[in-house]
Amino acid sequence: MNIEEQTDIIIEALEVFLNHILYVRDLYPPEIFKKRRIYNAPVFVSVFPPLNSYIHNILRTARELQQRRELRSVILKFYHDEIPLNECYSFDIKQLENSFEDGSMLNNDKFLIDFEEQLRCSLYKLAERLKPLEALPKGAQFKVVLNTTQEAFVRYSHLSKYQDFPWICDDTHPKESKREISLLPLTQLDTIGLRLNLDLL
């Protein structure tokens, strides 16, 4: 399996998790989600065009960054009245940088059997662990942040095809902040090196 195929699997897994979290956290009416089977796992996927367009644009950029080994993490953040809520989901993919150099990450799982099983278990585990959380406030919103290298930030912020996509330095967690952060690892997919954490600020 080549790097491009491996990257596509990572991006598809990210799409599944983003949709799953939005569905489980009831950010949108459940009617805009339809049940699908992806990698033999039942998942709820958005059929709402504006939401799909936003997620598509995010993941298109994430795919390009990952193919260049410049994607560090993908973070889903919830907001209310422009103020960050005490809940965000960090998809840590830093460990992927060295995993693809020899193309061995998924070669040991040629038919994606282990991957499918881990994905199903991760989705069930995630849903169970999110049940105790308080409901999001009415009118809550979300955004997805891509953490990358400074070099990639400079390059992408000057490309004309990304001018409609905001490229900014994220200063919501300044270094001098004294807020305590609790990092709870929710689940991970070892076969593709994707780890999902829940940050409670």
Region 24-29: mean pLDDT is: 95
On the 0-12 / 13-18 / 19+ scale of CB atoms within 10 A, 5 is: exposed
pLDDT at 173: 47
Highest mean pLDDT pick, 82-86, 100-104, 172-176: 82-86
Contacts of 55 (CB under 8 A, 6+ apart): 15, 18, 19, 46, 144
pLDDT band at residue 169 under the 50/70/90 scheme: low
Nearest of 121, 126, 146 to residue 17 by alpha carbon: 126
pLDDT at 185: 66
Region 101-128: mean pLDDT is: 75
Strand partners, 146: 74
Region 12-34: mean pLDDT is: 95
pLDDT in tens, 123-159: 888 888 888 899 999 999 999 999 888 888 777 777 7
pLDDT at 170: 56
pLDDT at 131: 87
Domain ranges for the chain, please list them. 3-168+179-200
Here the tokens at position 89 are 């989901």
Nearest of 14, 1, 2 to residue 61 by alpha carbon: 14
Distance CA 185, CA 195 (A): 8
Its CATH class, for the domain covering 3-168+179-200, is alpha beta
DSSP letter at 77 equals: E
Here the tokens at position 16 are 């599944």
The C-alpha angle 116, 121, 126, rounded to 5 degrees, equals 125
pTM: 0.82
pLDDT band at residue 175 under the 50/70/90 scheme: very low
